[in-house]
């Protein structure tokens, strides 16, 4: 493998020139000798070491120290406070339009139900066939519940939805279009402003899923005129396993937002214990039940770090990481028949790439046992998720080398 030598030199040169390289040591476990390459930060981000202190101090000082008084002393405001922080740091959203709640699946349900309720005379939801399963399943359920039809957009395996694809699918019957900013498998990065305009020209509303982009690709939801958006906080926002999701509802839709899961904490006066549901003003009406306060702790550390670094610097490193990964895959695995099934143009992809080979299906247990941790997605793809603040170029190369060495001989 003599070709590895120049690649290793390249990786080390890129690390040496990387203005963000020092941030990697702020993540717990970055120096764990059993983890050779963590390439799945797009599924579960690593914890920041600061988070250990935040969790402990929350348990000691706030939970144990303040007990039930904590709800009045700030916990009840945390969903909107952290929502505004996500909006400002990562989404290009002015205050008052974001909140933290539930899971992405449940928020997809709430936002889509509100959207179709806002277009009562229309009969279709448009969604792409390659969208993440939960997005498709939730829309199938809503269609059945509300007597609507799904119109499927078919896409290239290594691509994603374009404005032309969406223009061909929408019409006077379209109530809502549901798409991902970055496609979970191919990594395709959608042109949100162009597609949003196409949807609006058809008189429909759009719901963007930013699960695979938030914290790694800059967004400008206000400027892009997006109607609704949601996404995970345990991927590139490092909120930890099962951390709650966030929702964005554009200011212009808040007043008429029809909450399909009416709970007491989304009501105007939860502690009035009144007889009828009256929605709270503003983004608070997205909430249903008691907010998951402990689940919102870790993401605040990552959001503070992203604020310090800036999304543009995060994106710049992400582009270099995925470009280097494509280069290394081509050099080390091209002749084994491994293909890159993500866009080769960095302007058209997020922070992960997918590579495909029939042998990949059985490779993951062996790789994980060796401390090389990507993930597998059907039918034959290994995803290399490169979380910009916690991943080095050398680590990326080591991981790709081990995958290459695990393949059957060319």
Residue 137 interacts with ligand PLP (CB under 6 A)? no
When the beta carbons of 246 and 360 are compared against ligand PLP, the nearer one is 246
Are residues 237 and 295 in contact, defined by beta-carbon separation less than 8 angstroms?
A: no
When the beta carbons of 45 and 70 are compared against ligand PLP, the nearer one is 45
Residue 135 interacts with ligand PLP (CB under 6 A)? yes
The active-site residue, picked from 84, 102, 135, 209, is: 209
Residue 216 interacts with ligand PLP (CB under 6 A)? no
Task: Say how far apart CA 395 and CA 402 lie, in whole Å.
Answer: 11
Total count of residues recorded for the chain? 410
When the beta carbons of 182 and 389 are compared against ligand PLP, the nearer one is 182
Give the nearest distance from C-beta 139 to ligand PLP in angstroms.
Answer: 12
Task: Say how far apart CA 193 and CA 29 lie, in whole Å.
Answer: 38
Residue among 23, 1, 18 nearest 393 (CA): 18
Q: How large is the C-alpha radius of gyration of the chain?
A: 22
When the beta carbons of 288 and 392 are compared against ligand PLP, the nearer one is 288
When the beta carbons of 81 and 134 are compared against ligand PLP, the nearer one is 134
Residue 324 interacts with ligand PLP (CB under 6 A)? no
Burial of 292 (C-beta count, 10 Å sphere; 0-12/13-18/19+):
middle
The active-site residue, picked from 23, 27, 234, 248, is: 234
Residue 209 interacts with ligand PLP (CB under 6 A)? yes
The active-site residue, picked from 27, 38, 132, 236, is: 132
∠ CA 99-90-206, nearest 5°, is 65
When the beta carbons of 18 and 135 are compared against ligand PLP, the nearer one is 135
- The answer to whether 136 is a known catalytic residue is no
∠ CA 36-213-31, nearest 5°, is 20
Task: Say how far apart CA 381 and CA 387 lie, in whole Å.
Answer: 19
Residue 97 interacts with ligand PLP (CB under 6 A)? no
Indicate if the alpha-carbon torsion angle 361, 367, 368, 373 is positive or negative. Answer: negative
229, 230, 236, 240 alpha-carbon torsion, rounded to 10°: 160
Residue 292 interacts with ligand PLP (CB under 6 A)? no
Select from 131-139, 159-167, 266-274, 359-367 the region that touches ligand PLP (CB under 6 A).
131-139
Residue 104 interacts with ligand PLP (CB under 6 A)? yes
Residues 6 or more apart whose Cβ sits within 8 Å of residue 141: 109
Q: Residue 246 phi/psi, 5° resolution?
A: -125, 155
Give the nearest distance from C-beta 120 to ligand PLP in angstroms.
Answer: 26
Residue 232 interacts with ligand PLP (CB under 6 A)? yes
Residue 402 interacts with ligand PLP (CB under 6 A)? no
* Residue 317 structure tokens: 């490193």
Residue 134 interacts with ligand PLP (CB under 6 A)? yes
- The answer to whether 31 is a known catalytic residue is no
* Residue 264 structure tokens: 């007491």
* Residue 123 structure tokens: 């009969």
Task: Say how far apart CA 184 and CA 2 lie, in whole Å.
Answer: 34
Indicate if the alpha-carbon torsion angle 137, 139, 141, 147 is positive or negative. Answer: negative
Residue 103 interacts with ligand PLP (CB under 6 A)? yes
- The answer to whether 235 is a known catalytic residue is yes
Select from 1-9, 33-41, 128-136, 310-318 the region that touches ligand PLP (CB under 6 A).
128-136
Q: Which of 23, 38, 75, 184 binds ligand PLP (CB under 6 A)?
A: 184
Give the nearest distance from C-beta 154 to ligand PLP in angstroms.
Answer: 18
Q: Could you list the residues that contact ligand PLP (CB under 6 A)?
A: 103-105, 132, 134-135, 180, 184, 209, 211-212, 232, 245
* Residues catalogued as catalytic: 132, 209, 234-235, 383
């Amino acid at each position: 493998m003599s070709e590895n030598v120049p690649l290793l030199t390249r990786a080390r040169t890129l690390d040496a020139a990387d203005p963000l390289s020092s941030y990697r040591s702020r993540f717990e476990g970055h120096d764990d000798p059993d983890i050779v390459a963590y390439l799945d930060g797009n599924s579960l981000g690593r914890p920041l070491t600061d988070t250990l202190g935040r969790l402990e101090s929350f348990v000691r000082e706030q939970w144990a120290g303040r007990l039930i008084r904590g709800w009045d002393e700030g916990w009840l405001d945390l969903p909107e406070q952290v929502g505004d922080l996500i909006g400002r740091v990562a989404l290009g959203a002015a205050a008052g339009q974001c909140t933290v709640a539930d899971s992405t699946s449940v928020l997809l349900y709430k936002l889509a139900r509100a959207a179709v309720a806002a277009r009562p005379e229309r009969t279709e939801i448009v969604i792409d066939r390659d969208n993440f399963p939960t997005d498709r399943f939730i829309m199938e359920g809503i269609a059945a519940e509300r007597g609507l039809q799904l119109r499927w957009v078919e896409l290239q395996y290594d691509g994603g939805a374009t404005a032309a694809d969406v223009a061909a699918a929408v019409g006077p019957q379209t109530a809502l279009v549901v798409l991902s900013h970055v496609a979970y498998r191919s990594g395709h990065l959608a042109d949100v402003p162009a597609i949003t305009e196409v949807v609006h020209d058809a008189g429909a509303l759009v719901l963007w899923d930013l699960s695979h982009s938030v914290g790694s690709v800059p967004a400008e939801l206000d400027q892009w005129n997006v109607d609704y958006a949601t996404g995970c906080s345990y991927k590139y926002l490092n909120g930890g396993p099962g951390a709650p999701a966030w929702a964005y509802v554009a200011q212009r839709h808040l007043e008429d937002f029809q909450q399909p899961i009416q709970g007491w904490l989304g009501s105007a006066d939860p502690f009035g214990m009144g007889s009828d549901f009256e929605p709270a003003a503003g983004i608070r009406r997205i909430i249903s039940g008691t907010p998951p306060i402990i689940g919102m702790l870790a993401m605040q550390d990552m959001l503070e770090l992203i604020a310090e670094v800036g999304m543009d610097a995060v994106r710049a490193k992400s582009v270099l990481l995925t470009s280097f990964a494509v280069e290394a895959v081509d050099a080390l695995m091209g002749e084994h028949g491994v293909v890159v099934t993500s866009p080769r143009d960095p302007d058209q992809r997020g922070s992960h790439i997918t590579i495909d080979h029939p042998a990949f299906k059985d490779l993951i247990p062996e790789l994980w046992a060796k401390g090389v941790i990507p993930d597998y997605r059907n039918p034959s793809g290994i995803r290399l998720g490169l979380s910009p603040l916690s991943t080095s170029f050398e680590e990326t190369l080591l991981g790709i080398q081990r995958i290459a060495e695990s393949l059957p001989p060319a």
